[in-house]
Amino acid sequence: MSAEGAQPATTQVVILGAGVIGLTVAHVLSKDARYKIKIVARDMPDDLDSQAFASPWAVSAGYRLGRAALTPSPPRAQGANWSPMGEYNARIYKWEKTTFDKLWDMIPAGLAITSPSRVFYDAGADLDALWYKTLVRDFRILGKDELPDGTHAGVGFQTVSVWPQAYLPWLKSELDARGVEFVRKRVATLGEAAALAGPNGVLINATGLGARSLIGLEDKDVYPIRGQTIVISNPNVREFMCTELTSAEDGNATYVIPRPAPGGWTTILGGKYQKNNWDTSFSAADAQGILDRCAALAPAIKDPETRILRHNVGLRPARRGGPRVEAEKLDLPLKNEWLVEELPEEKGTVLVVHAYGFGPAGYQMSWGAAEEVGSLVDSHVNPNKA
Amino acid sequence: MSAEGAQPATTQVVILGAGVIGLTVAHVLSKDARYKIKIVARDMPDDLDSQAFASPWAVSAGYRLGRAALTPSPPRAQGANWSPMGEYNARIYKWEKTTFDKLWDMIPAGLAITSPSRVFYDAGADLDALWYKTLVRDFRILGKDELPDGTHAGVGFQTVSVWPQAYLPWLKSELDARGVEFVRKRVATLGEAAALAGPNGVLINATGLGARSLIGLEDKDVYPIRGQTIVISNPNVREFMCTELTSAEDGNATYVIPRPAPGGWTTILGGKYQKNNWDTSFSAADAQGILDRCAALAPAIKDPETRILRHNVGLRPARRGGPRVEAEKLDLPLKNEWLVEELPEEKGTVLVVHAYGFGPAGYQMSWGAAEEVGSLVDSHVNPNKA
């Protein structure tokens, strides 16, 4: 579009949401200087450890607009490692394989660690046919002596983990260095977000649970999966372990995720997996169940030296039908029936690329999904990109 | 306790929560210079209009501790007027009468306004026996010509309204002038809060929905009542109207609350009243129902000049058995079974006065409840107070 040697034309890209998906999409797109990128969100990754950052830990009393995923995923409660979730799906396999390898490559820089892992299954499961056998490293079927009491079968492998409180700030620092702009703003409607991108602009919709409430989108397939976790410190708990995450009709999911952290490891014990449950209050009964189930896998948790540091309750931003990564073109100005807005009257088209609904798997799909978003943007905006 | 003429001994008072209850209790107690008052909360009234204040409008994605009511009640979505709620209860009548009269007295200063009101009942209701007849001003039974289509009986009166976006900052400014200290802090346990008050100190527990999650208290009688409202501007909607707030089995509550505001009135249209529903997402179906029900009472809402400015969804901090305003003495250090905390080892007793569970009625019970809290504190700390 530009003459040889001249400044290339730039495209305004607005990313709505500063969670791990929004930040990773920004990382992928910002490699191309033709994209002028602005991340617009209610809360910012810099806020994560700030006293001023209320969202991840405080739930407001009284009235509020449900705008869950304009906020970054709060880090203290997250693994965040690659864990096996669900059945084989070609698209998701690709996203997760891409992400696993990308995080694995970050190990030398200290941004990620490798972690020995054991995952347990019902007796009779066809472990040799597990879909993620080629995704993880050093996959093997466990011998009987490696099975904790009460488990019947299992596999071992090496997975990769990041510590979100270091990882998200690293992502943010990369984006800062590339000139990505961060704008703190509460956006109520898809039309308002599209207007920020403007005619011929690109809007990335990385709003997570907020996609349900974003007026003009109102994706009612988006729903929460309630989680509760416990953060402990115990230097003897160093292995990732979980049971198969099945349909979880009892709302239980059992996982032990050690995480590297400055000043010593901490370990996430989980958890609950309650679909369509919005309850963000602490449940002592849930905490007791988590401790008992995790200690059955990792008996060291019952050691007197275990210190419980924190309890977390939160909502995973899931979607019926799976994550939505999809492009559509919308005409500006984009009105809606629910709010009177003073939008710019300028006409034009915005490319909207949706990237939400990753449920429990935002971190482990992030790089693969972000690359697909990048390809969708390129194919519309710079179709002849080398 | 002090010699005549000497500096009187002071008592450290920590108020946990900066909602309308916490602030009003601080206002009552701070009249007595012997109370050294610190308000500790996750979010502060100053944040209400700040872009940095996420809590009232943003719900975080991912994990968070359910700590609802350490945040102030967000103002945009609130009436906040005196509305009839529930049946007669002597204690609550006293709280509401005290509050009504106090707010009425603020009208000349411009902090509150009086508002003509109509409330509608089923045919056959004994309107002349309504319990709040002596609480409001100019109470009368409506004539047939004053009943909108579809209503069968009703009463008229003058109520009082405040505009929370001005009222809460006014409360805050009063407290600032009296030297009340504000500390932004996330408190996870009752023991941590009690330690802030210290031996012989006083802790006011004004945590609202957070009382359910405050570890060491974990009051499971606390529950949310989901609400959804619409803020409109229409200069022709100037009268408070509602239908009787009954048990609301359908989850509907219908009210039209005009509020004074700089630059023109806005009006809250409500609403939903869904017990034990934590869903903080926007529902277009709920919004449509609210518009239809309110327009049946106030047809001007259907005028083309009505502008919808905002939708709000939130949780009212209710409690089975009603509000808890009650004193108890607890021994320090106060341990709990769910978190390892580094609490001061100093022994002593803390007076805890609970003040939470006001549900939809925080504003309209605030002054009466705060005075009862003040009396409870005085009776323990300064029993011979004049």
Give the burial class of B239: count Cβ atoms within 10 A of its Cβ; 0-12 exposed, 13-18 middle, 19 or more buried.
middle
Percent of chain A with pLDDT over 70: 87
- CA distances in angstroms from A302 to A146, A236, A305, B79, listed in the order given: 19, 11, 8, 51
Q: What is the ipTM of this complex?
A: 0.86
How confident is the model over A67-88, as a mean pLDDT?
A: 61
Distance CA A294, CA A286 (A): 12
Give Dmax (Cα) for chain A: 70
Q: Which residues contact A204 (CB under 8 A, 6 or more apart)?
A: A13, A14, A15, A16, A17, A22, A25, A29, A352, A353, A355, A373, A377
A227 and B CB contact within 8 Å: yes
CA nearest to A20, candidates A98, A84, A99: A99
pLDDT tens-digit profile, chain B (386 residues): 444 555 668 999 999 999 999 999 999 999 999 999 999 997 777 654 332 332 232 222 222 222 222 333 344 455 688 999 988 999 999 999 999 999 999 999 988 989 999 999 999 899 999 999 999 999 999 999 999 998 999 999 999 998 888 888 899 999 999 999 999 888 999 999 999 999 999 999 999 999 999 999 999 999 999 999 999 998 888 899 998 776 567 899 999 998 877 667 789 999 999 999 999 899 999 999 999 999 999 999 999 989 998 898 888 999 999 999 999 999 999 988 888 788 898 899 999 999 999 999 999 999 999 999 999 999 999 888 75
Of A78, A186, A209, the CB nearest to B57: A186
Q: What is the pLDDT of residue A338?
A: 87
Q: Which of residues 136-175 of A touch B (CB under 8 A)?
A: none
Q: Which of A152-166, A223-237, B41-55, B96-110 has the lowest mean pLDDT?
A: B41-55
Q: What is the pLDDT of residue B263?
A: 67
* Residue numbers in A near B73 (CB within 8 A): 61-63
Give the burial class of A109: count Cβ atoms within 10 A of its Cβ; 0-12 exposed, 13-18 middle, 19 or more buried.
exposed
How confident is the model over A312-327, as a mean pLDDT?
A: 94
DSSP A280-306: -S--HHHHHHHHHHHHHH-GGGGSTT-
pLDDT tens-digit series, residues A104-129: 999 999 889 899 999 999 998 999 99
Return phi, psi of residue B21, to 5°. Answer: -70, -50
CA distance A64 to chain B (A): 4
Q: What is the pLDDT of residue B314?
A: 86
For chain A, the domains span 11-61+165-221+321-381, 90-161+223-319
- CA distances in angstroms from B164 to A208, A353, B22, B32, B152, listed in the order given: 31, 39, 14, 26, 33
Which fold would CATH assign to domain B90-161+223-319?
D-Amino Acid Oxidase; Chain A, domain 2 (3.30.9)
Q: What is the pLDDT of residue B268?
A: 92
pLDDT tens-digit series, residues A338-358: 887 888 988 999 999 999 999
A323 and B CB contact within 8 Å: no
pLDDT band at A380 (very low <50, low <70, confident <90, very high): very high
How confident is the model over A139-163, as a mean pLDDT?
A: 94
Q: What is the pLDDT of residue B61?
A: 22
pTM summary value: 0.88
Q: What is the pLDDT of residue A241?
A: 94
CATH superfamily entry for domain A11-61+165-221+321-381? NAD(P)-binding Rossmann-like Domain (3.40.50.720)
> How many beta-carbon pairs below 8 A join chains A and B?
257
Q: Which of residues 88-127 of A touch B (CB under 8 A)?
A: none
Q: Which residues contact B377 (CB under 8 A, 6 or more apart)?
A: B13, B29, B35, B202, B204, B327, B351, B353
Spatial contact of B56 and A63, defined as CB atoms under 8 Å apart? yes
